Structure 1
Amino acid sequence: MSISGKTILYTGAAGGLGLATTVAFLDRGATVVAVDNNAEKIAALEAAVPSAARSRLKVLRSNLGDLAAFRSDIEAMAKSVGGYDVVINNAAIYPAKPFEQFTVEEHQAVQRVNVDAGIVAVQVALPSMRAKQWGRIINVSSVTFYGGWALLSPYVASKAALVGLTRAWAREFGEYGVTVNAIAPGAFPTDAEKIHPDPEGYTRFVLERQAVKRRGSPLDIANALAFLASDEAGFITGQTLNVDGGWVMH
């Protein structure tokens, strides 16, 4: 599953599962344009990258909530790196409270970061992919898409939207040699879990639902992303791969 020599545009690349997967991509020879806006997490990412790979890490501090600025930032970077071979739409925000307490503006803010920024990323990357007749787009959805989560309605709706876009884009972009897939991570021990008041109880909840009785690791996500970004996955498109230890089965 070689991704060596590929240029990956990766949003949310310094936080949660992003840091470890970014390092894994660099270890495999890819160039990663790591989009994030958290200075502390960016510093941690830069510190985690081996010196031999640092020239292939291109950090881009950008606020995905400002779509015009985000477009300008990634267009400028595209000119610098020669376009993007792979887009991974991973960045997300996940405010939690009862549905009736969310304003429409708060719903729209989640949609803007979790979905609309991904639309912008694909619009910027697609012309180069079409010219090369090769490209990979991977949307990061969530196990929450399959139901059973209260208090996260804007987030769940955004992750469902990514699955819909995955299928629509796959149908439309296939003739250009571009595949579009999604992964739906299960419950991984990241900062996102800090919204749960009882961490030990939440871990028990997760393991009871998984077929594999261990918590997931970032390498589980990195392996799935690397496969879908590779030549070996060239006949797979429009699919959602659940990386969740057997939580959801179809």
Structure 2
Amino acid sequence: MQGRTILYTGAAGGLGLQTTLNFLSRGATVVAVDHDDTKIAALTSAASAVTSGRLLVTRSDMSDLEGFRTAIRARREETGGFDVVINNAAIYPSKSFEEFTVEEHQTVQRINVDAGIVAVQEALPGMKAKGFGRIINIASITLSGGWPNIYPYVASKGALIGLTHAWAREFGPYGITVNAISPGAFPTDAEAINPDPEGYNRHVLAQQAIKRRGHVGDIANAIAFLSSEDTGFITGQTLNVNGGWVMD
């Protein structure tokens, strides 16, 4: 990844931090988009052991799409463009379907999907000019239907899969690949919404073929794989990283 520039949304979160450090250790520059000051501080501290000069933190409220566009456009001009885009940022409110308002649904889609569209719009001209690009959308095992009360989140992840297919077809002639990674049940902040964490942990292990919880390195390695030059013939695919819970 030496010399590559990565645009990574949600880069300071539970799955993002380790992936960001992985890219930095491989020589990439990472434009890390996040809004949580505590998580950003942890990322900056961890990155200092690898390199801080190639970590470009961008604080952005991604529900403000024009503000987000302005922020990443400035980074694009500063860095000369993005070689890899990772659409990872997401929110996951939980309650029953009838309790959600349309406005709440739209907020989830705006952050989880529409901001990703903005990111790709800003990166695409440079990728086309170089004849190289990697776009990775982070989907979710929840598309298998095993989780109630998070319908806007599930809908947003389904939209990312659809965009993966559409973009892969459209951008392929320019040497740009588009793939999705669908993580399983990883022990991140998202699990905090579960009322019985220990029972949920037992449930996860019972479902998986591999009897350990996933760790962030599992996702970091999958993202690094799909970001590499060696995967130029893989596009329009969803890579399930779930310990064998859901098998295609």
TM class by shorter chain equals over 0.9
Q: Partners in 2 of 1:188 and 1:178 — Cα distance?
A: 29
Q: SS of 2:45's equivalent?
A: helix
Output the amino acid matched with 1:39: D
Aligned to 1:22: 20
State the alpha-carbon separation in 1 of the partners of residues 104 and 213 from structure 2. 31
1:16-49 alpha-carbon deviations (Å, 9 max, x no partner): 1111111111111111000001111100100111
Partner of residue 121, structure 1: 119
* Unpaired segments ≥5 residues, structure 2: none
Find the residue that maps to 1:205 and give its secondary structure: helix
* Alignment check: 8 A CA contact 2:24 2:55 kept: yes
Superposed counterparts of 1:216-235, under 5 Å? 216-235=214-233
Alpha-carbon distance in 2 for matches of 1:52, 1:227: 20
One-letter code aligned to 2:40: I
Query: Which residue of structure 2 lines up, in the alignment, with residue 44 of structure 1?
Result: 42
State the SS of the aligned residue for 2:53.
helix
Amino acid at match of 1:90: N
Aligned-pair CA distance for 1:51? 4.1
**Post-superposition offset of 1:52:** 4.6
Provide the residue aligned with 1:92 in structure 2: 90
Alpha carbons 2:24, 2:50 under 8 Å: kept: no
**1:170 partnered with 2:168:** yes
Structure-2 change in CA distance of 1:59 and 1:189 (3 Å)? same
For the residues of structure 1 that align with 2:21 and 2:129, how far apart are their CA atoms? 28
| Whole-Å separation in 2 of the counterparts to 1:227 and 1:234 | 11
* 1:50 positional shift: 3.3
SS at match of 2:52: helix
**Aligned residue identity for 1:46:** T
| Cα deviation code 1:80-102 (max 9, x no counterpart) | 01100000000000000000000
Q: How many Å separate the matches in 2 of 1:205 and 1:49?
A: 34
Identity, % of aligned positions: 69
Please name the residue that 1:7 is paired with: 5
The total of aligned residue pairs comes to 248
The match for 2:154 is 156
Aligned residue for 1:4, secondary structure, equals coil
> C-alpha separation between the residues in 2 aligned to 1:246 and 1:110?
28
Deviation at 1:4, TM superposition (A): 2.2
Aligned-pair distance for 1:201?
A: 0.5
Gaps of 5+ in 1: none
Asked whether 1:214 is paired with 2:212, we answer: yes
Looking at structure 1, the residues matched to 235 and 9 of structure 2 have their Cα atoms a distance apart, in angstroms, of 21
| In the alignment, structure 1 residue 204 sits paired with structure 2 residue 194 | no
Question: Which digits, 9 at most, give the CA deviation of each residue in 1:92-116, with x for residues without a partner?
Answer: 0000000000000000000000000
**What letter matches 1:88 in structure 2?**
I
| Counterpart secondary structure, 1:5 | coil
Conserved? CA contact 2:61–2:68, under 8 Å: yes
Deviates more, 1:20-29 or 1:155-164: 20-29
What is the CA distance between 1:13 and its match in structure 2? 0.3
**What is the TM-score of this pair, normalised by structure 2?**
0.99
Query: 1: CA distance between counterparts of 2:240 and 2:178?
Result: 15
1:50-129 paired onto structure 2 within 5 Å: 50-129=48-127
| Alignment partners' CA distance in 2, 1:111 and 1:11 | 15
Moved runs in structure 1, 4+ residues, more than 4 A?
A: none
Change over 3 Å in CA distance of 1:129–1:230 after alignment to 2: same
Q: TM-score, normalised by structure 1?
A: 0.98
- In the TM superposition, residue 15 of structure 1 has moved relative to its aligned partner by 1.0
> Aligned partners of 1:90 and 1:185: how far apart in 2?
11
> Which region of structure 1 is more displaced relative to structure 2, 48-57 or 112-121?
48-57
Name the CA distance, whole Å, in 1 between partners of 2:245 and 2:4.
Answer: 32
Structure 2 residue identity aligned to 1:41 = K
Which one-letter code corresponds to 1:171 in the other structure? R
